[in-house]
Structure 1
Amino acid sequence: MAGGAMAGGGDSFRALLRAANALLQQRRYHAALAVIKGFRNGAVYGAKIRAPHALVMTFLFKSGSFREKLKSIAQATYAHSRNLACFVFTYKGLLAAQSRLQGKKIPFHSFLAACIGGWLVFGDNNPINSQIIMYLLSRILFGLSRLAVEKGYIPQPKQDPFPLLAALVWGTVLWLFEYHKETLQPSLQSSMTYLYEDSEVWHDVSDFLVYNKRTDSNKAAFLFALC
């Protein structure tokens, strides 16, 4: 009897799976289904990107208990995943709506849909959104520069301009760090403090080579290892 019930359940599941697969093949539902899958991909990609970054930055630079650090990582990962999923959902939904209303897709549709999505989803000025926007801004500047050369708006450089760009970027960011640190993003401040300020301070071999900063616990551990 139990075996028959299990077999019946298996048949129902297979029938449901066949119905779902048939629905996914329907071209008339493609736009709506693409919006749903876009939400899924945004959530997964956001988690994949944020989790490793949050893990490294939290354990390198944040204080607090192990549980507090794990909570911070989970919150950052969730926020990035949620925002990216909501943005993709909004963008693709607005794109499909515009195409349906005008009967075709034009380049301005992408710009308008992304503007609205960016305002609604990423308009809150918080650390997660700030990092995402700055990441995109750097890519935009590179992309627009290449497009300007491709379209002939600016001449093709005779030499690779990247060395000059690298010099200007590093010169500017270190000048800002040394004299206007508060203008930089907190995570960048933390990284640069570790690299350029903490390397100016030490007391003995323990915090010169083994640890970044001397504390009673790591000093005791270092002395114990020498014994």
Structure 2
Amino acid sequence: MSILTNPLYRPLLEVARTARNGVVYGGKIRFSHALVINLLYRSGSLRPRMIEVLKATKNHAEVLASFAVIYKMVLGVLVNEQVLGSNSKALSKFVAGCFGSWIVYSQHFGYFHPGITHQITLYCFSRVLLAVSKIILDQYLNCSNPSFKVAGTSMQNYKNLSLNQKSKLKQQYYNKAWKYFAVLTWGLVMFIYDYQPQYLQSSLRHSMHYIYDVELDSWGTWKEFFGI
């Protein structure tokens, strides 16, 4: 029996695999992003700019891989040792996620790049907020059983709707949640950028300066205007 098929080594292999996946995914995401930003918005010789790209890629990969390793190791201990009980895998995942985030994303220890950990955390926050709003909506619909007027029919209780009608109804509210979230987010971003821009994350601040502060630019020719 080889190591790959030996159940004894399976937990270690899973940790190694998740670390590898974190490195690959983080490298792909950050390399392309950093490369475009440096080529389009940075000036200077090419070599130091490419070094910045590689450093950003390395930092992003380290963050994702480190969290993945810590999460899988802690989860393995909690589940296999039944620390939180025999039927608490979901709670174990929550605790493992919190512990891994405390090590990697909270900047409590200062081991990882703060800009990258902030970006990833804020990215996840928006997704979590939208997911929570959907969970609350589903709980409300299933528990309160409100009535709705469906096209071509009279008022009906939610539980009496067909699966297709329920899906369309929930999608309408999901879309509204996203619209309100997008409107509020960008309204606040533009307000903060004008009011106290130093509180925004640096890469967001720099990109907004490049895009929106065109009144500070000057152009003598069309070539300069189009950046040719």
Following superposition, the deviation at residue 207 of structure 1 comes to 6.2
* Residue 109 of structure 1 pairs with residue 97 of structure 2: no
Q: Which has the larger radius of gyration?
A: 1
For residues 167 and 28 of structure 1, the distance between their equivalents in structure 2, rounded to whole angstroms, comes to 52
Unaligned runs of 5+ in 2: 147-169
For residues 43 and 90 of structure 1, the distance between their equivalents in structure 2, rounded to whole angstroms, comes to 14
* Residue 202 of structure 1 pairs with residue 182 of structure 2: no
Q: Select the residue among 15, 28, 41 that pairs with 1:35.
A: 15
Q: In 1, are the aligned partners of 2:219 and 2:225 still within 8 Å (CA)?
A: no
Following superposition, the deviation at residue 85 of structure 1 comes to 0.9
User: Match of 1:141, as an amino acid?
Assistant: L
Following superposition, the deviation at residue 90 of structure 1 comes to 0.8
Q: Percent identity?
A: 32
Q: What is the DSSP-based 3-state SS (H/G/I as helix, E as strand, rest coil) of the residue aligned with 1:152?
A: helix
For residues 64 and 115 of structure 1, the distance between their equivalents in structure 2, rounded to whole angstroms, comes to 41
Q: Which residue of 2 aligns with 1:217?
A: none
CA 1:173–1:89 in structure 2 vs 1: closer, same or farther (change >3 Å)?
A: same
Q: In 2, are the aligned partners of 1:47 and 1:80 still within 8 Å (CA)?
A: yes
Q: Which residue of 2 aligns with 1:77?
A: 57
For residues 57 and 133 of structure 1, the distance between their equivalents in structure 2, rounded to whole angstroms, comes to 20
Q: Which residue of 2 aligns with 1:164?
A: 180
Following superposition, the deviation at residue 149 of structure 1 comes to 1.2
Q: Which residue of 1 aligns with 2:128?
A: 140
Mean Cα deviation higher: 88-97 or 118-127: 118-127
* Residue 61 of structure 1 pairs with residue 37 of structure 2: no
Following superposition, the deviation at residue 58 of structure 1 comes to 2.0
TM-score under structure 2 length normalisation: 0.75
Q: Select the residue among 113, 116, 141 that pairs with 1:128.
A: 116
Q: What is the DSSP-based 3-state SS (H/G/I as helix, E as strand, rest coil) of the residue aligned with 2:213?
A: helix
TM-score under structure 1 length normalisation: 0.75
Q: What is the DSSP-based 3-state SS (H/G/I as helix, E as strand, rest coil) of the residue aligned with 2:211?
A: helix
Q: Which residue of 2 aligns with 1:180?
A: 196
For residues 224 and 183 of structure 2, the distance between their equivalents in structure 1, rounded to whole angstroms, comes to 29
Following superposition, the deviation at residue 30 of structure 1 comes to 2.0
Following superposition, the deviation at residue 77 of structure 1 comes to 0.5
Structure 1 or 2: more helix by fraction: 1
1:91-128 Cα offsets, whole Å, 9 max, x none, are 00111111111174521111111111111122326111
CA 1:164–1:83 in structure 2 vs 1: closer, same or farther (change >3 Å)?
A: closer
Mean Cα deviation higher: 104-113 or 182-191: 104-113
Following superposition, the deviation at residue 44 of structure 1 comes to 1.0
1:108-162 Cα offsets, whole Å, 9 max, x none, are 1111111111111223261111111111111111111111112228986965413
Q: Which residue of 2 aligns with 1:49?
A: 29
1:32-54 Cα offsets, whole Å, 9 max, x none, are 21111111111111111111011
Q: Select the residue among 195, 205, 221 that pairs with 1:189.
A: 205
RMSD: 2.5
Q: In 2, are the aligned partners of 1:61 and 1:190 still within 8 Å (CA)?
A: no
Q: In 2, are the aligned partners of 1:43 and 1:85 still within 8 Å (CA)?
A: yes
Unaligned runs of 5+ in 1: 1-18, 212-221, 223-227
